[in-house]
Amino acid sequence: MKFLNIKKNDKNINKINIFGITLFKKYFYADYWRIKLLEGVIYLKYSNDGHFRLRLFGFSTIRTKVTDSKKYRIVYLLFLPVWILNNQKYTCNRFLNGVLKNYSNYDEYYIFLSRSGEFFLLMHHLSQWIKDNGSKNYLLIVCARYHLDICKMFYPNINIAFCPVDVSLISRQVKNVKNSFKGKTIYIPTYEKYFQEVENDIRLHGAHYYTKLKKHLGLNDFDTTNYTISPKVKNKIRKIAEKLLNNNFVIVSPESLSNEMLDRHFWDKLCKRLKLIGYEVFCNCMDFRNLITDTYQCFLTYEETIELARYANAVIGLRSGFLECIANKKVPTFAIYTDFPKRGNFARLESDKIMEGFSLKKLPNINKDLVFEYDINKMGAESVQNDILKIIKLKNAKQEELCI
């Protein structure tokens, strides 16, 4: 038997044994690590979101817990709360410290907390905004993987990093676009306070979110950048459109992170009616639980899905950021509006206000004749489906006449 046995993994000590007794053992996981000392007499667990637990002889001695609202982080000694932290501030500081530690050779950081729609629009103006800020040595930080995909379409060689975090906590803590942290400049274009002001302006004054965004950041419609699709993606999608979908298909997008979801029966019925008039249906979903039966589905990146829309006969979707990304294509786009439910600190917003404040027709470079928008609460599901199918049939008939 060896007196001392040390096992290493990925240059980290995982296990130390003396005379066969495990004195130290460390486990690494994707979201946390844990340590056992003296055969588990002392146990420590630390997760990436800052949660900590210490057990002595199997008893929980020190632990942290976040309240249901995520506003406070409570430290317990045995069973007694001994310290209460502002969880939003704690998470924000911890996140920024991590960014500066891992990417210390930059002077300025642009952190994006928005979803796909606002992010896609911001990418059109990013070059102008950075130039106006006088930034030279900067890094983009995104908190969603699909942001990487969208950004690379516009700026393939830009410095960018993916840093996952609970976006809602950072968003609630931020109050300004330009911030200073440990001698560095941090730009955060959108955050909860800003989004609340936008929704209130929509509710009370009929404002449009894109106009608000431009005013908020001092942007214009002249100094913009467009995206490009890589040759590799173009070739891949061309084969999918031709060989799998026979160049005769409709993209259906039933998901939205903001709008209330429509009943599954609506999408099942719509897809059956589309197939009855001769179309294949491609279902664009992030969550497999929302996939529609008897439709084509496969995982595509944002870049690939945007390119696929170029071949589609139509795109039909619940209003979401995805529709912003494809609305400037020369393809009929049908956007269905439902209510915004109550979301944390955000009040409910009715579908008629949403259709006014988030209308695709008010975005730049949009062919308004190819954008059709529906307040389903006002029209009803059957009327919406009938109108969509009527327009698709009409446009298909016109296209056939042009080919004769």
Task: Tell me the per-residue pLDDT of 103-143, one tens digit each, with 9 for 90 and over.
Answer: 999 999 999 999 899 999 999 999 999 999 999 999 999 99
Give the pTM: 0.83
**pLDDT one-digit tens code per residue, 282-311:** 999 888 788 888 898 888 999 999 999 999
Asked whether the beta carbons of 227 and 298 are under 8 A apart, the reply is: no
Query: What ranges in 103-245 are assigned the alpha helix state H?
Result: 116-133, 145-154, 167-173, 192-205, 209-217, 231-239
Whether residue 19 has pLDDT greater than 70: no
Confidence tier at 314 by pLDDT (50, 70, 90):
very high
Architecture of 231-403 per CATH? 3-Layer(aba) Sandwich (3.40)
| Structure tokens, 92 | 């924000």
**Least confident interval from 26-35, 184-193, 196-205, 323-332:** 26-35
Average pLDDT over residues 160-187: 94
Asked whether the beta carbons of 263 and 333 are under 8 A apart, the reply is: no
**What kind and span of H or E run contains 128?**
helix 116-133
| Structure tokens, 117 | 């729609």
Whether residue 250 has pLDDT greater than 80: yes
Q: Rounded to whole angstroms, how far apart are CA atoms 376 and 260?
A: 11
Confidence tier at 1 by pLDDT (50, 70, 90):
very low
Strands 249-253 and 280-283: parallel
